Amino acid sequence: MLVFLLFLFGFLKSVVGSPVACYDSSDVSLDCTKEARATIRGIPGYEDIHGEFVFRQQSPCSPVIMTGSIFNLPPGSHGFHVHEYGRPNATCYSGVHFNPFGQVHGGLLDKERHVGDFGNINAFRTKSGRTVAQFAAVDPVISLCGQRSIVGRTLVVHEKRDDLGRGPNLESLKTGNSGKPIGCGVIRRIF
Ligand SMILES: [Cu+2]
Ligand SMILES: [Zn+2]
């Protein structure tokens, strides 16, 4: 585990060194923060689900480093996105995927994707019987300020696997057929 973490941080450090251009000047605004967090809670019927995520960005034009984990998801892959609004109710309703540029749904590494598309988070059962899902990414598409800002929006985990826009129906290009949200949390800035 420790070896994996050391490897991961080495990888993140090497990627963060590379400069990433801002899309335009509106990305550099006064609301910039270097760190944001989201606490995930399950909807009724999934109360055991909980998790924490941290988002860090050195400057408005740097990629965002995101790390976190969710416990007690059903084992398997679950669609994982930032949704538009930051006011989840008991069902985690928070609008559609955050999509300020009117693109179609995709995966984290796709050229064409919603800004809020993180693909899937994968849950594994541990020896203790608990289920753990870890996620780490260096994403140049999201930001903690400007028009790509995920701050104040909702991080959502879904019941089903996200087909990343490659499914057989139109819904695939909107939601990846990932089904209903089962857990969520608002992304809040850290002062
Ligand atoms: Cu979603
Ligand atoms: Zn999407």
In three-state secondary structure terms, 172 is helix
Give the distance (Å) from ligand 2 centre to CA of residue 99.
7
Measured CA to CA, the distance from residue 83 to residue 153 in angstroms comes to 6
Supply the pTM of this predicted model. Answer: 0.87
Measured CA to CA, the distance from residue 68 to residue 112 in angstroms comes to 25
Q: Walk along the chain (191 residues) and give the pLDDT tens digit of each residue.
A: 554 554 454 444 444 433 445 655 555 666 789 999 999 999 999 999 999 999 999 988 899 999 999 999 999 999 999 999 998 888 999 999 999 999 999 999 999 999 999 999 999 999 998 999 999 999 999 999 999 999 999 999 999 999 999 999 999 999 999 999 999 999 999 97
Give the distance (Å) from ligand 1 centre to CA of residue 154.
9
The residues that bridge with 183 in the sheet, in sequence order, are 42, 157
Kindly state the greatest CA–CA separation across the chain: 50
Residues near ion ligand 1 (CB < 5 Å) are 81, 156
